[in-house]
Amino acid sequence: MIQFRIQPDSEIPASNQLFNQIRFAIASRQYPPGYKLPSTRALAMQTGLHRNTISKVYRQLEEDGFVESLAGSGIYVRAQGHEGGSRLRSPILEQYPQAYKVVQQALDDLLSQGCTLSQAREIFLAEIDWRLRCSARVLVAVPKQDIGAGELMMDELEQALKIPVQLVATEELASVLEQTSSATVVTSRYFIHDVEAIAAPKAVRVIPLDIHDYAKEIAIVKGLPKDSCIGIVSVSSGILRATEVIIHGIRGDELLVMTSQPKDTYKLHAIVKRAHMIFCSDQSSFAAVQGAVQVVVDDIIRPPKLVRSDNYIGEKSIGLLRRELGLG
């Protein structure tokens, strides 16, 4: 007979502990279809629980479709195969129809390596628990030289995920992680190598983010007349450098590219006076350019066309991070 263990000092009620353990025994086929469950007396002697508590657990198992009661005979495990049973009634599996196959494959792989079902269960639960704990604190890490990229990520993540996010320079990440036992560190894929080197020894979770593909902006650049002047304004110095390289790769020397951060008033005014079109990577830069246009509007014949990028982080990365953090 399977030995069920109840932890009296656990925050989980004893009845829930027993219910989950029996349900796992059924799902793992340690209690196969047709198996007769132990009597309430036998289970009470094993677990130390009152027979009324065990009867309540059995009733819940029956209501959920795991077992069926046969009058005068006992309680038996119901068939739970792919063709029916409670597994297919789960709304989660209806939403993610391939989920069971993914879990089944992972479980089969663990068993093929020599794991027992109980050990596999502990591995799954430990990983889920660790990820949930890590989700309680989210850090954005970028190098000091491009702290603007971190500001972009932090602002967008807080707006998209509705949770507080802390910005940390990569050079200071080690000392910050010394003060926490669990966290999720988020960074651009461009900086992932350095961040992982710091976080890995701390057993801290690191998630790389892909940036927006800027397809709309690239299409505009490709269609600009030769000798056009383009302005690029961003809080991220990394974006400014990368953009210059990308535009040169697309158009060579056909276009003049001017760059500035929003706080550099001199460069900003020079761009506004000279550029035919100005690309802004973020709201702060967009507002700064609008302000600069108003200041020099009397000195220019035709104001530049402003293009505000939608976001910095790719939409797929936002969705992935939301799921990784357990935010739905």
Q: Are 234 and 148 in contact (CB under 8 A)?
A: yes
**Residue 34 clears pLDDT 60, i.e. is over it:** yes
Q: Does residue 46 sit in helix, strand or coil?
A: helix
Q: Does residue 203 sit in helix, strand or coil?
A: coil
Among the residue ranges 4-13, 40-49, 279-288, the one predicted with the least confidence is 4-13
291-295 contact pairs (CB < 8 A, 24+): 292/265, 292/268, 295/269
pLDDT value of position 111 = 84
**Residue 81 clears pLDDT 60, i.e. is over it:** no
Can you give the pTM of this predicted structure?
0.55
Residue 48, phi then psi, degrees to nearest 5: 85, 5
**Residue 69 clears pLDDT 70, i.e. is over it:** yes
* DSSP calls for 246-292: HHHHHHTTSSEEEEE-TT-HHHHHHHHHH-SEEEESSHHHHHHHHHH
Over residues 113-141, the mean pLDDT reads: 76
191-201 tens-digit pLDDT = 899 999 998 88
Quick one: tokens of 220? 């505009």
Query: Element (H or E) spanning 129, and its range?
Result: helix 117-134
**What is the spatial distance between Cα 298 and Cα 66, in angstroms, rounded to a whole number?**
78
Q: Is 157 exposed, middle or buried (0-12, 13-18, 19+ CB in 10 A)?
A: buried
